[in-house]
Amino acid sequence: MSRAQKRSAARLASVQALYQMDIRGTNVVEVLAEFENHWIGQEIDGVEYSPAEESFFRDIVGGVVREQRSIDPKVDQALADGWPLKRVDAILRAILRAGVYELLHRKDIPPKVTISEYVSVAHAFLDREESGMVNAVLDKIAKAERSDHLQAS
């Protein structure tokens, strides 16, 4: 499995972990341990969970938790008027937070890669319209925060 595939799996697992934290109120230490010990790279009920780059998974989940106070207002600003982040579905919230964390704090990853990856994650859980919203929100934030990198790529 390539590094890119392991990173894609880490993004998917990160979104699932963030969703679980949001819904169940699980803390970051518990969710990281649960995913690393029981989900990532395992087969559960006939479903294969791909091996993931665990350090990348930990960075995204831990980073979203650590930076949430700066991430959420940026997402709120990028969402359509009248739709604050707290009003969107929990899985969509997890996708947007993870994507924004990566855009803001992983300067080693081109914004276009980040946006494409999280739109793919959105397709796994959401309909086309909501996936389009992920694309629009992340693109808007990337243009505001990393416009120099977008023009260079």
Distance CA 105, CA 103 (A): 6
Tens-place pLDDT, residues 33-61: 988 888 888 877 777 777 899 999 999 99
Kindly state whether residue 103 falls inside one of the protein's structural domains: yes
Q: Residue type for 101, please?
A: Y
Q: How confident is the model at residue 88 (pLDDT cuts 50, 70, 90)?
A: confident
Domains of the chain: total: 1
When pLDDT is cut at 50, 70 and 90, the band that residue 151 belongs to is low
pTM over 0.85: yes
**Domain residue limits at 113:** 3-147
Output the domain CATH number for residue 17: 1.10.940.10
Alpha-carbon distances, residue 107 vs 6, 60, 124, 145 (angstroms) = 19, 13, 25, 11
Q: Is 152 contained in some domain?
A: no
DSSP-assigned states of every residue in the chain: --HHHHHHHHHHHHHHHHHHHHHH---HHHHHHHIIIIITT-EETTEEPPP--HHHHHHHHHHHHHHHHHHHHHHHHHSPTT--GGGS-HHHHHHHHHHHHHHHH-TTS-HHHHHHHHHHHHHHHS-HHHHHHHHHHHHHHHHHH-HHHHHH-
**Rounded alpha-carbon distances, angstroms, from residue 47 to 41, 42, 50, 121:** 10, 8, 10, 17
54 within some domain: yes
pLDDT(80) > 70: yes
Q: Is residue 139 part of a domain?
A: yes
The answer to whether position 24 is within a domain reads yes
Our measurement of the distance from residue 146's CA atom to the centroid of its chain's CA atoms, rounded to an integer in Å, reads 17
